[in-house]
Amino acid sequence: MTQPVIELLQSHRSIRKFTEQPIAESLLRDLISAGQSAATSSNLQGVSVIRVRNPETRKAMAELAGGQTYVQQAAEFLVFCADLHRSGWCCEQSGNTVADGMTEHFIIATVDVALFAQNVVVAAESEGLGICYIGGLRNDPQQVSDLLALPEHVYPVFGLCLGYPDQDPECKPRLPLEAVLMEEHYQPVSKALVAEYDETMRDYYQRRTGGKLDRVWSQEMLALLGKESRPHMRAFLEKKGFRMR
Amino acid sequence: MTQPVIELLQSHRSIRKFTEQPIAESLLRDLISAGQSAATSSNLQGVSVIRVRNPETRKAMAELAGGQTYVQQAAEFLVFCADLHRSGWCCEQSGNTVADGMTEHFIIATVDVALFAQNVVVAAESEGLGICYIGGLRNDPQQVSDLLALPEHVYPVFGLCLGYPDQDPECKPRLPLEAVLMEEHYQPVSKALVAEYDETMRDYYQRRTGGKLDRVWSQEMLALLGKESRPHMRAFLEKKGFRMR
């Protein structure tokens, strides 16, 4: 490993096509161990990772995620769950009651999961693996929960495909750094900056699709925010004990 | 940089004492750029990072975070915000209305922030810096919001201290890997495993405090989950437009 870590991080792109090469068991354990080493709020460690190998389960998840076939094909598919069940169980074992349903607890467990997963991702990419996060599991979190037998106070935040890349896509351009790094106070984005980034993204999509796709960032944001998104999430989370109080 | 990345990740520990050495401007920008390269849901890029240098603001934040003086002393202090304001503004510019208050949007922005921040952390540690996440900003998110002039649809998820370490603490032991990595289905933790980890943590705290602190993990979990935690979060988030519907 001689590539500076910052360059490794800057070279991230999602991989959606994998070779058939398996991931060595010892490497997989190292990746999870790297994930565990990430910071965790008050030592909560509110993360459980479920490794899915059963082809039927993989197929069901690929479908509910909107037909993402790489969920089936990747060497490994991991489901990252926010887990307050384990820590709550510890409290109950000593005869205590947990103050459940707090929004704050939902936030710390969700953040724990993301910090952990990103360490797994960086570790994986440093070893030549490619990855793809699968937020599409939240299309039907109840089915995921049933497939994985998730108890109360556990919810699937996202999945992660891991494998050796069989494609070499370009990195997706990001907003100019000036748009996200601010000094002392919040600074609203400027029209000029969004227009500039829109053109960058138009070029990127044109290149990637051989001129077929004409799309800019503002349009993507409208597609994402302009309509209700996974409106079942609230009720699902409540059912799982995340009442957001 | 010859240390394998996985070892770098596994060697993480929070740093709470920093030298006075500043962080070069170019390095800081590289760290943020590395953060931007993390995966983001549907290209949302729902993250804004506010760099706080004003000593008065730092002091106020150190205090509201519960007297964490390193918030004042660190070379840099960054506040990581989940930001749906920028993307929403893009939609409104084209005369469209945003479906606001969705729980799903809250989740993707919060996850975006954590993935971004963890990349910043890994980049920083690879360059010899130390870090400490400051979840304590959520003790008084309204004051943080006021100090940073955060608009609607933006909330402070956590702060981050960055600087050159002036201490060399031991890594905090984590749960055995078996507790967090599961095959096919959720696997409840065993009593034996928690008991084992409790003893590991007791030894760790004893070593770290010269025998003064007698504490185990189960007790920490009870302190965290056994009582209401930041019960103001829900109302604060609602006020900011995160209605969790």
| Residue A214 within a domain | no
Mean pLDDT of B152-178: 98
Mutate to test the interface with A, among B225, B228, B232 (most CBs of A within 10 A): B225
Question: Position of tokens 């770290």?
Answer: B208
In 3D space, the residue among A213, A182, A135, A120 whose CA is nearest the CA of residue B43 turns out to be A135
Segments of chain A with pLDDT less than 50: 1
Per the CB < 8 A criterion, the answer to whether A129 and A163 are in contact is yes
In 3D space, the residue among B98, B117, B122, B146 whose CA is nearest the CA of residue B48 turns out to be B117
pLDDT above 90: residue B2: no
| A52 lies in the same domain as A119 | yes
| Residue A222 within a domain | no
Residues of B within 8 A of A51 (CB-CB) are 181-184
Question: What pLDDT score was predicted for residue A94?
Answer: 85
| Residue B244 within a domain | no
Residues of A within 8 A of B50 (CB-CB) are 182-186
| B62 lies in the same domain as B112 | yes
| Residue A219 within a domain | no
C-beta atoms of A107 and B233 within 8 A: yes
Give the ipTM of the model, two decimals please.
Answer: 0.98
| A89 lies in the same domain as A110 | yes
Instruction: Domain of residue B182: give its range.
Output: 177-208
Q: What does the pLDDT look like over B11-67, one tens digit per residue?
A: 999 999 999 999 999 999 999 999 999 999 999 999 999 999 999 999 999 999 999
Q: Please list the residues that pair with B134 across neighbouring strands.
A: B159
Question: What pLDDT score was predicted for residue A3?
Answer: 75
Report H helices in B94-155. 103-126, 141-148
Which member of A5, A126, A228 has the closest CB to residue B102?
Answer: A228
Which member of B39, B185, B234 has the closest CB to residue A244?
Answer: B234
Question: What pLDDT score was predicted for residue B3?
Answer: 74
Strand order in the sheet with B47-52: A181-183, B47-52, B76-83, B154-163, B130-134
CATH code of the domain covering residue B136: 3.40.109.10
C-alpha A47/C-alpha A39 separation (Å) is 12
| B164 lies in the same domain as B190 | no
Q: What does the pLDDT look like over B92-148, one tens digit per residue?
A: 988 999 999 999 999 999 999 999 999 999 999 999 999 999 999 999 999 999 999
| B82 lies in the same domain as B164 | yes
Mutate to test the interface with A, among B111, B144, B157, B236 (most CBs of A within 10 A): B111
User: What is the number of domains present in chain A?
Assistant: 2
In 3D space, the residue among A108, A208, A4 whose CA is nearest the CA of residue B30 turns out to be A4
Question: What pLDDT score was predicted for residue A195?
Answer: 95
Question: What pLDDT score was predicted for residue A167?
Answer: 98
Number of residues in chain B: 245
Per the CB < 8 A criterion, the answer to whether A244 and A101 are in contact is yes
| B154 lies in the same domain as B203 | no
| A167 lies in the same domain as A197 | no
| Residue A50 within a domain | yes
| A182 lies in the same domain as A161 | no
| B87 lies in the same domain as B189 | no
Give the pairing of strands B154-163 and B130-134.
Answer: antiparallel
Question: What pLDDT score was predicted for residue B1?
Answer: 44
| A79 lies in the same domain as A145 | yes
| A110 lies in the same domain as A202 | no
| B149 lies in the same domain as B66 | yes
Q: What is the mean pLDDT of chain B?
A: 97
Q: How confident is the model at residue B218 (pLDDT cuts 50, 70, 90)?
A: very high
Q: What is the pTM of this model?
A: 0.98
C-alpha A45/C-alpha A117 separation (Å) is 12
C-alpha A30/C-alpha A25 separation (Å) is 9
| Residue A28 within a domain | yes
C-alpha B129/C-alpha B13 separation (Å) is 11
Report H helices in B127-176. 141-148
| Residue B166 within a domain | yes
A66 half-sphere exposure, CB direction, 13 A CA radius: 7
Nearest CA in chain A to B92: A222
